[in-house]
Copies of this chain bind each other. A is one copy, B any other.
Amino acid sequence: MTNPKNTFGDHYLVDLYGCDPSLISTVQPVRDVLLNAAIKSESTILDDSFHQFEPYGASGVIIIAESHFSIHTWPESNFAAVDIFTSGNLMKPQIAIEIMQAGYGANYIKVVKMTRGALDTQRIQNND
């Protein structure tokens, strides 16, 4: 990579289908698995915030030194949407994805990886 400043990290959008509703209905199991995924993928955890929806469903975010994890769950549809944004090359998002798939009991996942800031920023800054 000749100019690392041309990209700013990889953003993984992970859709988890067929999840076990008992594992994604309340904050505690949702948070436990997401924190474990962050730790085992060698993220540096800075802060986390989770919210319980009624009658069921949870949202949560973990801010990590490398960027963030987020999750939103729809237990009534056996579905959870996760994203992992990681800048730098130190953490291991694939490990996090495997832990989440197992931890939420997903029977199918779809992962999209987007590179953030992939334009030639120098050229853009010279255009104004």
Contacts and interface: CB of A to CB of B under 8 A. Distances in A.
A81 B87 CA distance: 11
Interface residues of A, number: 43
Contacts of A11: 13, 81, 83
Interface stretch (A28-36, A68-76, A96-104): A68-76
B121 A17 contact: yes
A61 B71 CA distance: 12
Contacts of A77: 5, 8, 117, 121
The 10 closest A-B pairs by CB, nearest first: A61-B61, A81-B116, A107-B128, A108-B124, A17-B124, A49-B49, A47-B49, A18-B125, A46-B51, A5-B77
